[in-house]
């Protein structure tokens, strides 16, 4: 939505996908777009995960492959005077790449080959390591080829910007950070005095599923040894079977899709983000800090965010370190208050939505000038 708001004043045509059960805010889209069409996210073909080992097209991209959507985009470009095409994430880059006569922008939320490489740090099984290594190498080739077809790449962190500049030298790469709606996500008037730990995220996404399992299977049992009344809530869309099964463990609850994540953040005392893989920045951390929820994260989870340990959050890398940091927060109200205030202040100063909309709007003016110069 931030991207659409930054395009105010331009004639915008939107083609997008929605998850099953996801509601479309028609009134909002009508105010931001000249016209739009929303497609249901396609179902993956049978044996897609197996064929992913040899397919030249990554599984994540194939999740969004739709002939109907391809026909719609081709028709739109053919009938309208489209000056600029924007692919929001590499996953839909195939819809934009073919139109070389149009200025093409990639809004990159992640660097997928780095996410795949992260799996190598979480497994010791030789065959799995071999498979993950092959997938990461193929993703890197695909990402270099795909990103290289765009005129402009928008990265969500300085870390990702530097990687893209190495991956596709000569392409222009700019950074516009992820943001949080600080009016929507606000600190609760009073935070419960309980011992609830929460983790949120899109749970079909492997970095989130891995974090949820590591938290429930290896970290939280250590917390329970010293805080028997603690509870853990894992909240998010499409939890796979391995994540749903975590609900059978002592003190653990798994909640599927929710319309509003705020009540789940507001009932917790600590937000735990034991993220071990992926790239980009984690929106979930910004949302948690915006509501004043103290955060414990890995360095990977906090990557790309301008955070100071001890001021905005706490860092941990091992199950023992996570246990210690979580227990420290559960026992020390003063520390919780300091991190709550520091995290909220950070998102207000550096990750508020108005600042990002203004930065993006300025960028679109530069794009418009370049398009005009091309004739």
Mean pLDDT of the chain: 87
Whether residues 148 and 14 share a domain: the answer is yes
Whether residues 283 and 141 share a domain: the answer is no
Whether residues 296 and 280 share a domain: the answer is yes
| Helix 158-167 × helix 126-147 angle, to 10° | 80
Whether residues 161 and 290 share a domain: the answer is no
Whether residues 78 and 149 share a domain: the answer is yes
What pLDDT does 97 receive?
86
Could you give the C-alpha distances from 121 to 47, 141, 200, 208, 285, in angstroms and in order?
A: 26, 21, 22, 15, 22
In a domain, 32, yes or no: yes
What pLDDT does 48 receive?
64
pLDDT tens digits along 152-199: 999 988 888 999 999 999 999 998 888 888 999 999 877 777 899 999
Cα separation, 104 vs 208, whole angstroms? 30
In a domain, 190, yes or no: no
What pLDDT does 54 receive?
66
Whether residues 369 and 338 share a domain: the answer is no
What pLDDT does 254 receive?
96
Whether residues 167 and 267 share a domain: the answer is no
Residue 375 binned pLDDT confidence (cut-offs 50, 70, 90): low
What pLDDT does 334 receive?
94
297 and 276 Cβ atoms separated by less than 8 Å:
no
Rg, C-alpha atoms of the chain? 21
Residue 53 binned pLDDT confidence (cut-offs 50, 70, 90): low
In a domain, 317, yes or no: yes
Which of 110-119, 144-153, 204-213, 347-356 has the lowest average pLDDT? 110-119
Contacts of 97 (CB under 8 A, 6+ apart): 104, 146, 149, 150
Whether residues 103 and 131 share a domain: the answer is yes
pLDDT tens digits along 218-265: 999 999 999 999 999 999 988 999 999 999 899 999 998 888 999 999
pLDDT tens digits along 54-77: 666 777 777 788 889 899 999 988
In a domain, 295, yes or no: yes
29 HSE (CA, 13 A, CB side)? 12
Which whole number is the average pLDDT over 10-33? 80
In a domain, 227, yes or no: yes
311, pLDDT greater than 90: yes
The larger pLDDT score, comparing residue 258 to residue 114, is at 258
CB neighbourhood size of 296 (10 A):
26
Whether residues 147 and 222 share a domain: the answer is no
Q: What is the CATH number of the domain that holds 207?
A: 3.40.50.2000
Whether residues 160 and 251 share a domain: the answer is no
Q: What is the pTM of this model?
A: 0.77
36, pLDDT greater than 70: yes
Which whole number is the average pLDDT over 43-49? 68
Number of domains in the chain: 2
Whether residues 221 and 326 share a domain: the answer is yes
Q: In the chain, pLDDT over 70 holds for what percent of residues?
A: 94
In a domain, 25, yes or no: yes
Whether residues 204 and 335 share a domain: the answer is yes
In a domain, 241, yes or no: yes
Residue 1 binned pLDDT confidence (cut-offs 50, 70, 90): low
Range of the domain at 53: 2-179+353-374
Cα separation, 19 vs 41, whole angstroms? 6
Give the pair of three-digit tokens for residue 157. 């962190």
In a domain, 280, yes or no: yes
């Amino acid at each position: 939505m931030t991207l659409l708001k930054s395009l105010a004043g331009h004639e915008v045509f939107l083609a997008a996908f929605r998850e099953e059960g996801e509601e479309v805010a028609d009134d909002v889209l009508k105010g931001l777009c000249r016209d739009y069409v929303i497609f249901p996210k396609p179902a993956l073909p049978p044996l897609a995960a197996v064929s992913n080992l040899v397919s030249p097209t990554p599984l994540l991209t194939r999740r969004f492959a739709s002939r109907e959507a391809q026909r719609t985009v081709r028709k739109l470009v053919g009938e309208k005077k489209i000056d600029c095409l924007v692919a929001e994430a590499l996953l839909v880059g195939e819809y934009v790449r073919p139109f070389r006569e149009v200025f093409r922008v990639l809004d990159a939320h992640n660097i997928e080959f780095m996410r795949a490489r992260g799996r190598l740090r979480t497994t010791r099984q030789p065959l799995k390591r071999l498979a993950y290594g092959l997938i990461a190498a193929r993703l890197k080739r695909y990402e270099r080829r795909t990103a290289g077809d765009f005129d402009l790449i928008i990265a969500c962190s300085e870390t990702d910007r530097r990687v893209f500049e190495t991956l596709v030298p000569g392409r222009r790469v700019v950074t516009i950070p992820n943001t949080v709606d600080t009016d929507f996500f606000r600190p609760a008037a009073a935070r419960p005095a309980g011992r609830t730990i929460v983790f949120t995220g899109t749970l079909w996404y492997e970095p989130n599923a891995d974090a949820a399992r590591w938290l429930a299977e290896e970290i939280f049992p250590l917390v329970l040894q010293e805080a028997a009344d603690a509870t853990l809530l894992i909240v998010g869309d499409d939890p796979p079977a391995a994540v749903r099964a975590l609900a059978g463990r002592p003190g653990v609850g798994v909640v599927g899709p929710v319309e509003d994540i705020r009540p789940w953040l507001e009932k917790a005392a600590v937000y735990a983000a034991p993220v071990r893989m992926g790239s980009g920045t984690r929106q979930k951390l910004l949302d948690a800090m915006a509501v004043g929820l103290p955060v414990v994260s890995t360095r990977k989870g906090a990557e790309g965010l301008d955070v100071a340990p001890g001021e905005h959050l706490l860092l941990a890398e091992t199950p023992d370190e996570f246990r210690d940091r979580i227990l420290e927060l559960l026992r020390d109200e003063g520390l919780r208050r300091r991190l709550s205030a520091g995290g909220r202040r950070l998102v207000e100063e550096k990750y508020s939505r108005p600042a990002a909309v203004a930065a993006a709007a300025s960028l679109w003016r530069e794009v418009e000038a370049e398009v005009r110069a091309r004739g």
